[in-house]
Amino acid sequence: MSFRLGAAAVLGLTIALTASVALPASAAGPAAGGSGNRYLLNDRWSGAANIDVRYGRDADIVYTGDWNGDGKDTLAVRRGGTYYFSNSVGGKATTTVSYGRADDTVVMGDWNGDGKDTPAVRRGNVYLIKNSLSAGSADATVSFGKAGDDVVVGDWNGDGKDTLGVRRGNQYFLKNSIRGGAADITFSFGKTSDKVYFGDWNGDRKDTPAVRRGNTYFISNATRGGAAETTLVYGKTTDTTLTGDWDGNRKDTLGVRRAVPKPVAAQPTAPKPAPVPSGPGSDLDCGDFSSQAAAQAEFERWIRAGLGDVHGLDRDNDGQACESSF
């Protein structure tokens, strides 16, 4: 009996919390870095992307976040102090805002828990927090940590609000409110050389770390030390990582930003081989050449012309003409 009552009470609490908290805007955080305008996003923890889109320009600074509160994370690109927010992955910019200075460091997060991610400009250890995608003065100005801190963003306690944390090596000092004072959560995870991303990988509303080495990701669902719960190889080592909830299932997954190779300038067309001293019909043999190099040159001349090994100089098809004759 008491067990049943207890279970009901827990259930009631869960529902009340669910009803009162806006959809988590979980990804966000600092700019993704990298360059390129191809985005390969994955809704599942698998090796293959299910979304492949182009957005913005190669040199754009890129952020991910839930700009409209629909529960789905999308892209925003930044050029100087101008931001182009799009509410559909690969779709046109829906909101364009100029905010702060061209050289500001900006992190995105849901600072007020309304389900929408918005910018915070960082200058040293001062954060100018904005709760809407609009120009104008900051809604709040707060100090956090030290000017040189490596700062991370996430919702550590699942209250729907993003707050800050500091990384030092492989140690993390997380705070559940944006203000000074002792960390609420301290833990170590991964290696000092790892890249780290925070997201809600399991849908419990709390953001936890995933570290990257090469193109291998080690994912944890807790802000504590210990082994990763999931390991996944994704993308290429040269890719830049993005994280977000692309399909709105409340779980963050991976994506990458990749540079699209520029089309290579057309090679000058191979000059037409002179018909003398030989042609496809003249049938030279290895014995007609003074050296392997001369045979090789004749062989390659016809290969380049697209006619193949017209003299039959490379009988063993290893690309070396008449190598057994010299």
**Does an H or E element contain 301, and which?**
helix 292-304
Question: CA-based angle 30:36:38, to the nearest 5?
Answer: 100
Of residues 62 through 81, those in contact with Ca ion by CB under 5 A are: 66, 68, 70, 72
In contact, 185 and 154? CB cutoff 8 Å:
no
Nearer to Ca ion, 72 or 167 (CB): 72
Could you say whether residue 200 binds Ca ion (CB under 5 A)?
Answer: yes
Q: Contact 99/119 with Cβ under 8 angstroms?
A: yes
Q: Which residue, 155 or 239, is less far from Ca ion as judged by CB?
A: 155
Quote the least distance from Cβ 221 to Ca ion, whole Å: 5
Task: Give 200 or 314: the residue with its C-beta nearer to Ca ion.
Answer: 200
Residue 202 engages Ca ion in binding (rule: CB under 5 A): yes
Using alpha carbons, select from 65, 176, 174, 41 the residue that is nearest to residue 115.
Answer: 65
Q: Which of residues 97-126 bind Ca ion (CB under 5 A)?
A: 110, 112, 114, 116
Question: What is the SS3 assignment for 192-224?
Answer: CCCEEEEECCCCCCCCEEEEEECCEEEECCCCC
What count of residues does the chain have? 326
Burial 9-40 (b: 16+ CB within 10 A, else e): eeeeeeeeeeeebbbbbbbbbbbbebebbbbb
Q: Is the Cβ of residue 63 or residue 289 nearer to Ca ion in the bound state?
A: 63
* Footprint of Ca ion on 139-158 (CB under 5 A): 155, 157
Residue closer to Ca ion by CB (options 21, 305) is 21
Residue 311 sits in the site that holds Ca ion (CB under 5 A): no
CB atoms near residue 116 (< 10 Å): 22
CB of 17 to Ca ion, least distance (A): 13
What residues from 159 to 188 belong to the interface with Ca ion (CB under 5 A)? 159, 161
DSSP helix/strand/coil, 123: strand
* x/- map, 8-47, Ca ion, by CB under 5 A: ----------------------------------------
- Which CB, 222 or 294, lies closer to Ca ion? 222
The residue ranges that bind Ca ion (CB under 5 A) are 66, 68, 70, 72, 110, 112, 114, 116, 155, 157, 159, 161, 200, 202, 204, 206
